[in-house]
Amino acid sequence: MKNNELSNKSVVILGFLVYFLSCAMRIDYSATMVAMVADLKITNTMASYAVTGSFIAYGTGMVLCGIIADRISPVKMIKCAMIGTVAVNILVSFCSDMVLITLLWSINGFCQAMIWPPLARFVFESVGKEKYADSITIVGLAGSIGTLFVYLFVSVILEIAVWRAVFTCMSLFGAAVLFIWCYMTRKTSMGRATPEKDTSDENNHSKLKLTIWAGLVPIFAATVLQGVLRDGIQTWLPSMINETFGLKASSSVLSTTMLPILSMISVVLTNALYHKLKNELKTVSVVFAITFLATIPFGLGLNTPALITVTLASIVSGSMHGVNHMLISVVPQNFSKYGKFATISGIGGGFSYLGASVSSFGFAALADNVGWNAVQVSWCAIAGIATLICVFEIKSWTKFRE
């Protein structure tokens, strides 16, 4: 299945670099938002519009770009995406108007949507099915490491410079990775994804029948809920810590560095659990159940200290990265024989960021009107519902895989 002149190691390293910087240039706004709110004198809700717009553009874009990524070169798609996101980060550094910032960050969301589906297909077709799960796990870790880098980097920048410097630096880092990508893939040729040549009834299902047969509807519902928890907590935890415990902006951002650390641990442990259970839904059900247990103190309305609050919230958000890895990266490999690998990955990613867009605005509105305790209670309810959905879907998914 080798459609690439690059070695497996080179493919993983290249994919890691691209995903690292793409995530960094998507999360930098959320990490900088506390300082932006203070400097531009706006409310949390106003600041959330740019995040919501980005998530909506990212989510809808993932669906469209996933379909396209099965039809054209993933290498060219990623190149265009990186150019776009670098340009947006440069422009935001010069903006003060929230309407313009919201528009630009929404464009950034669409550019970012052009990265993961083609990147996952690029890795899959380069390393083959046997090595894909472990390879994509390493590439996926770049997202958590990129997040850790952003929070540490932003906390330093906010101490020595204005928030605009964050976007300037990120665009420069992104430009460097773009050059590396273009240079290393200059001899790589990938075209349209082709299904296995099989005339059996199974491989001639329509997209709708395939969706129903695979039980993807409830799986996508769970994907939405994990997106709510993962990105909602990641986006608003710095602000929650700042307003609830009175920490200054740079300290609030720095206190959330536990998020990406636990995210990395979660992805690795979830992949190990998958190798043992050999079933994506069983794996996801276990992780969601652990998440629900971590949210019980919030569900009971307990006023936990800052350290415990950050720790539990980080466990919840981190665990969702493991769930996202299974649903967006590993589940799609079951559809490669239909030539729908990137399509399923893109659609799954779209539902994930539908949840993210809901949480970015929803959690802000809930916090502004009711308080952060209400937001924490919602985490418990969401985790419980997602656990039940996955547990009830195990039988259907297992039948499809077998």
**Does pLDDT of 51 surpass 70?**
yes
Q: Cα separation of 248 and 246, whole Å?
A: 7
CB atoms within 10 A of CB 246: 10
pLDDT band with cut points at 50, 70 and 90 for residue 286: very high
Residue 357 has pLDDT above 70, yes or no: yes
Class in CATH terms, 8-190+206-401: mainly alpha
CA-based nearest residue to 264, from 343, 320, 333, 304: 320
- From start to end of 185-325, where are the E strands? none
The closest alpha carbon to 375, from 313, 306, 320, belongs to 313
Q: Round to whole Å and give the CA distance between 267 and 6.
A: 25
For the full predicted model, state whether its pTM sits above 0.85. Answer: no
Give the DSSP letter string of 347-374. Answer: HHHHHHHHHHHHHHHHHHHHHHHT-HHH
Average of per-residue pLDDT across 18-36: 88
Average pLDDT over residues 12-31: 91
**pLDDT tens track for 103-126:** 999 999 999 999 989 998 899 888
Tell me phi and psi for residue 42, to 5 degrees: -125, 170
Q: Which two tokens stand for residue 330?
A: 């590993």
Question: 67-90 pLDDT, tens per residue?
Answer: 898 888 889 999 999 999 999 999
Alpha helices in 370-401 (DSSP H): 372-401
Residue 287 corresponds to which amino acid?
V
Q: Write down the domain spans for the chain.
A: 8-190+206-401
Average confidence (pLDDT) over 42-60: 82
Tokens of 279: 């079933």
Name the helix (H) or strand (E) containing 102.
helix 98-113
108 vs 358, higher pLDDT = 108
Identify which has the larger pLDDT, 82 or 369: 82
Place of tokens 């052009």: 114
Quickly state the pLDDT bin for 388 (edges 50, 70, 90): very high
DSSP 8-state class, residue 330: I
Which of left, alpha, beta for 339 (phi over 0: left; psi -120 to 50: alpha)? left
Q: How many angstroms separate the CA atoms of 56 and 50, rounded? A: 10
DSSP string, 156-212: HHHHHS-THHHHHHHHHHHHHHHHHHHHHTTT------------SSGGG--HHHHHH
Q: Does the CA dihedral 107-229-267-280 come out positive or negative?
A: negative
Torsion of CA 251, 151, 326, 372, to 10 degrees: 30
